[in-house]
Amino acid sequence: MEVLALIPARSGSKSIKDKNIRMIAGKPMLVHSIEHALASKLVTRVILSTDSEEYARIGREAGAEVPFIRPAEFAEDDSLDIDVFEHALRWLKENEGYEPDVIVHLRPTFPTRDPADIDKVIELLLDHPEADCVRSVAEAKDTPFKMWFVDPGDPDDGDFDLKTSQNGVEENNKTGEIGIIKPVISIPGTESCSMPRQALPKAYLQNACIDVIRTETITEKHSMTGDMVLGYLMKDDCDIDYEEDLKRADAILRK
């Protein structure tokens, strides 16, 4: 059973400059994920996918393989995970004849994970041959039943405005009218947005810690999830996006 841990770490980041190599508890952030993968009992290979020679050097010194430098077209702000993973699998097959059975997606922005959870998530997928993927989740602090988005219009009427839907309020964060809003999700036959929180179903947020995916889910279904996704519940939600997240992760690791 070949289990490949792939750690995608591009050099560009808008929220925090060079986020993936910022020092946390005395180590560049991506090094923590490499060490987590190497500590796994079931992972058989650890590869860092990066567009940066500097990141590649740091990754190799930490024990990861960096057999290729990721093309710039797959390292943009809007690059999709599926493109990164398809590129890696394609390169490995064409250049090495290597095809893993399972892919473990470890984002470098979660430096506080427990390596034991990696093995538990892998085992969960292997125990359920009907599943395409397992994603780690944490209980959501806010319920989506009380969330709204700005109505982007009807695509069938030719007035669908994705930018309006994504941005909602203008970038200067002014308060005031933003247009027609619609519930993100609702329970049929009810006015979910007006129900007590306790009466609503629990919701779970993917916490960006561990995804385990069958290779054919990526190569044949061209998907990072597939059709059947199992959840692995975790208490932690420590994905790093902002400076305050860095400080929190550093404090956790130093304990």
157 or 213: which leads in pLDDT? 213
Confidence category of residue 242, pLDDT binned at 50, 70, 90: confident
94 vs 246, more confident: 94
Cβ contact 119:216 at 8 Å: no
pLDDT in tens, 106-124: 999 999 999 999 999 999 9
* Cβ atoms 56, 66 nearer than 8 A: yes
CATH entry 3.90.10.10 includes domain 3-139+205-254: no
Q: What is the DSSP letter of 189?
A: T
- Residue 239 confidence (pLDDT) above 90: no
Rounded to an integer, the average pLDDT of 22-43 is: 97
* % of the chain with per-residue pLDDT over 90: 70
Alpha carbon distances (Å) from 51 to 56, 67, 85, 232: 8, 12, 14, 30
For the record, the structure tokens of 183 come out as 């519930």
Contact 68, 33 (CB under 8 A): no
Question: pLDDT value at position 33?
Answer: 98
Report d(CA 15, CA 214) in Å as an integer: 31
**Is pLDDT at 140 greater than 70 in this prediction?**
yes
Please report how many Cα atoms fall inside a 13 Å half-sphere around the Cα of residue 1, on the Cβ side: 13
For the chain, the domains span 3-139+205-254, 144-199
Summarize the confidence of residues 34-46 as an average pLDDT. 98
| pLDDT at residue number 241 | 82
pLDDT tens, position by position, 144-192: 999 998 877 655 555 555 555 555 555 445 678 878 888 999 999 999 9
Q: Has this prediction a pTM greater than 0.85?
A: yes
Residue 172: the pLDDT is 47
